[in-house]
A and B are shown apart, each in its own frame.
Chain A
Amino acid sequence: MRASTVKNPAAEAPKPESNYLNNGHTIASWLLTKDHKRIAILYLISVTIFFAVGSFLAGLIRAELILPRGVMLENETYNKIFTLHGVVMIFFFLIPSIPATLGNFLIPMMIGAKDLAFPRLNLLSWYLYIIAGLIAIVAIAMGGVDTGWTFYAPYASMYSNSQVSLTIGAAFLAGFSSIFTGINFIVTIHKMRAPGMTWFRLPLYVWGHYSTSIIIILGTPVVAITLLMLLAERTLHLGFFSPELGGDPVLFQHLFWFYSHPAVYIMILPGMGVISEIITCFSRRRIFGYEFVAFSSLAIAGLGFLVWGHHLYVSGQSMYQGMVFSIITFLVAIPSAVKVFNWSTTIFKGSVRLQTPMAYALGFMGLFLVGGLTGLYLSSMATDIHLTDTYFVVAHFHFVMVGGAVMAMLGGVHFWWPKMTGKMYNEHLGKLSAAITFVGFNLTFLPQFAMGYLGMPRRYHYYYLWPDFQIYHILSTAGAFVLAIGYAMPAFYLLWSLKHGKDAGPNPWGAKGLEWTTPSPPPTENFTTIPIVTEEAYNYDPELAEREETLADMLEHDYSPEGAGN
Chain B
Amino acid sequence: MSTTMANSDHGHADGVFHQYENIDQQNESYIVGMWTFLVTEVMFFGPLFFTYILYRWQYQEYFWRTHQLLDIKLGGINTMILLASSFSMAMGVHYAQKKDTKRQLGMMGFTVLCGAAFLAIKLALEWAPKFQHHMIPGPQFTWPPHDGYDQSILALLHDVPRGAAEMYFSIYFGITGLHGIHVVVGMLCIAIIMFMKVRKFPQVESYIPTEMVGLYWHFVDLVWIFLYPLFYLMPR
- Which A residues have a C-beta under 8 Å from some C-beta of B? 1-4, 34, 113-121, 179, 182-184, 186-188, 190-192, 217-222, 224-226, 228-229, 232-233, 236-240, 245-248, 251, 255, 525, 530
Residues in A neighbouring B148, C-beta threshold 8 A: none
CB contacts (< 8 Å) of B54 on chain A: these are 248, 251
Question: Residue A183 contacts which of B33, B55, B138 (CB distance < 8 angstroms)?
Answer: B33
User: Which of A117, A236, A240 contacts B51 (CB under 8 A)?
Assistant: A240
Given A1-B9, A1-B18, is A246 in contact with B2 using a C-beta cutoff of 8 Å? Answer: no
Knowing A4-B9, A186-B36, A246-B163 are in contact, say whether A217-B19 is a contact too (CB < 8 A).
no
Is the pair A225, B170 in contact by a Cβ cutoff of 8 Å?
no
Interface code B1-29, partner A: CB below 8 Å = 1, 0 otherwise? 01010000110000001111100010011
Q: Which of B41-49, B105-113, B184-192, B227-235 contacts A (4 or more CB under 8 A)?
A: B41-49
For residue A177, give the distance in angstroms from its CB to the closest CB of chain B: 13
CB contact between B19 and one of A117, A190, A229 (< 8 Å): that residue: A117
Contact in complex: B33, A187 (CB < 8 Å): yes
The CA of A220 and the CA of B9, in the complex, are separated in Å by: 33
B167: interface (CB < 8 Å) = yes
Question: Does residue B124 face the partner (Cβ distance < 8 Å to A)?
Answer: no
Give the chain A neighbours of B25 by CB distance below 8 A. Answer: 191-192
6 extra interface residue pairs, beta carbon distance < 8 Å, beyond A187-B29, A222-B47, A246-B166: A1-B18, A187-B33, A190-B29, A191-B32, A221-B43, A238-B170
Q: Across the A-B interface, give the 4 residue pairs with the lowest CB-CB distance, nearest first.
A: A246-B163, A115-B19, A237-B138, A221-B44
Complex Cα gap A238–B141 (Å)? 11
Complex CA gap A255/B178 in Å reads 18
Give chain B residues whose Cβ lies under 8 Å from the Cβ of A34.
10
Q: Which residues of A contact B41 (CB under 8 A)?
A: 221
The smallest C-beta distance from B22 to any residue of chain A, in angstroms, reads 12
Tell me what chain B mostly uses at the interface: helix, strand, loop, or mixed: helix
Q: A121-B2, A222-B46, A225-B47 are in contact. Are A183 and B40 (CB under 8 A)?
A: yes
Contact A222 B9 (CB under 8 A): no
If A1-B18, A222-B47, A248-B54 touch, does A120 touch B2 (CB 8 Å cutoff)?
A: yes
How distant is A257 from chain B, measured CB to nearest CB, in Å?
Answer: 12
Chain A-chain B contacts (Cβ-Cβ < 8 Å), number: 129
Q: In the complex the two chains form, what is the Cα distance from A119 to B11 in whole Å?
A: 12
Task: Give the Cβ gap from B173 to chain A, nearest Cβ, in Å.
Answer: 6
By DSSP majority rule, is chain A's interface helix, strand, loop, or mixed?
A: helix
Structural contact, B173 and A239, CB atoms closer than 8 A: no
- Known A115-B18, A187-B33, A246-B164: A222·B43 in contact at CB below 8 Å: yes
Closest to A195 in B: B21
Are A246's CB and B167's CB within 8 A? yes
Would you call A245 and B39 a contact (CB within 8 A)? no
Q: Report chain B residues within 8 Å CB of A247.
A: 55, 167
Query: Does B37 count as interface, using CB distance less than 8 angstroms?
Result: yes
- B45 pairs with A225, CB closer than 8 A: yes
Q: Which residue of A lies closest to B62 (CB)?
A: A246
Given A113-B19, A118-B2, CB of A183 within 8 Å of CB of B37: yes
Contact A239 B43 (CB under 8 A): no
Q: Confirm or deny: B174 has a beta carbon within 8 angstroms of a beta carbon on chain A.
A: yes
B144 within 8 A of A: no
Specify the chain B residue showing the minimal Cβ separation from A36: B19
B149 adjacent to chain A (CB < 8 Å): no
- The distance in angstroms between the C-alpha atoms of A236 and B139, with both chains bound, is 10
Nearest CB in chain A: distance from B30 CB, A: 8
* CB of A152, distance to nearest CB on chain B (Å): 16
**B202 interfacial by beta-carbon distance below 8 Å:** no
Q: Which of B20, B48, B137 has the most CB of A within 10 A?
A: B137
Report the separation of the CA atoms of residues A248 and B164 in the bound assembly, to the nearest whole angstrom. 12
Q: How far is the CA of A281 from the CA of B191 in the complex (A)?
A: 51
Query: Is B226 an interface position by the 8 A CB rule?
Result: no
